[in-house]
Structure 1
């Protein structure tokens, strides 16, 4: 098993190295109608707790690699296909595969489509477009609010009312697709409304969906719903962002919120500060097995147009998400180390 993981990391390193040596960022145009994009990252994490959530610490590393192809079928339509390989998967998987059709001011998408949710979900795989190596709790795959994709159809249309523009993206899905699991089949309806009010640098969004899905094949359908309020202000000296969301997954009610500030400090270097909280079981709010807080301080350095570096320090209080991932929610508080730290170093590349 150790040899398998090592060889997988070696293959990932070679694949990413080929991207790093590709030169300035830019799509690979195979023909007039076919274009390829690639991105990935290698990440090392040093945590101040071990698997038992006690002191002693542990180290971990993982990789993510994605290849996105776009094939223009017509001046108003194109086909998108993204495949991915990461540490959690033993095989290459399809992240999304969709037909994109433009009709007037309206865009229609059919197939396996990115789930429209919050600010980040559309670009969740592209670390180079994020100010930190980690994603906010709201987008954590184990929390289950912001799944990676949907299987069905989506429609997007912009509405202009005076000096205000609203971009509405609604969808109907027969399945939700988590980051590293099989599709959860059922029926889901949802939408995201993003608004640019007549205030310079301000953007607002409301996202939500509701439906009933089967967590695994053979299971009975369970309720699944989520919502998020998102706000962003971009003054000349940086970007301030806040999001608050929650939802229901079967009988479990969850919440997550964060405030993040990003400011350029040097040419090609950004400083990011994020404070956030997640509650994985609202009936146990305030208990460290179900209520976790995190302070993130990160540096994002664009070494070249193709290569980026992320260095991050995190201070945690609680173990809600690690225990949820390990299916150990409800552990005795006395058995857990309340406060702990972790550090993340990541190299990302894109073309």
Structure 2
């Protein structure tokens, strides 16, 4: 790890004033510190916001909830309001990491963890995300964990967050404080950028912007919510494929469906066309299969991750069968993924 200046911020204004092109915010540090040890990230200044007041609470926000950026993953998953009204979020958090990491990781930090692949970690390998213009060693390399949707020739890394996938299905928004003190609200899709030809730019945050909260809408009353994560080992691993679903039934038809996917794309993936296809329809295997085909119509894969197409197809159908009552609900949220 290289030397750096450490600043403990005493206010959001102080933190924003210390920001710059060679500075990084630290909250829980579960991702940043690992990358600094490997010299993948080498900030000259680290700004600690972990002790700021007012960022570690979960409060009512009209009919919904406002989750402070410093709320720990473990506390969020255990909150009675989350477990009762937003169970898909609690399940995703519990599937996301070890207990030790959940005790330290923050809500804002989880959203901003780096989208990455094995080549991003290896400073001897070319990586446009780590060094723009250097190339992408993942092209022609090991692709098992790479994305198949929303990628570009410059980057095929998949977004690692479980929490963000559930938040996308819940149609959550993100509150961001600008250096001048004003607040703006972004949808999840507005927060994350696709890689294009600048995979080093992962979000729409400007210099000095700080995520202060996640805003959950009113609970979807009467909905069936589920999170299914398929991974190589059950103890602790990123998703090969994950599916978050919030489905409301009306008179034996799907009133509304909101699905989001992990392990498939550089950001939590949502396809409005898929949700629209399901709304108003009677649940059936044929409908679910057609919706899965639509989701994967533009997927780009190779021999190493072609199995993700089939895995995502089957996982989506299984989750929809449970959510609509065509099949009993599963007893757990995790499956162990095997190569197809």
Structure 1 length as normaliser, TM-score? 0.23
Q: Specify which structure has the bigger relative contact order, considering alpha-carbon pairs within 8 angstroms and separated by 6 or more residues.
A: 2
Query: Structure 1 or 2: larger strand share?
Result: 1
Structure 2 length as normaliser, TM-score? 0.24
Query: Structure 1 or 2: larger helix share?
Result: 2
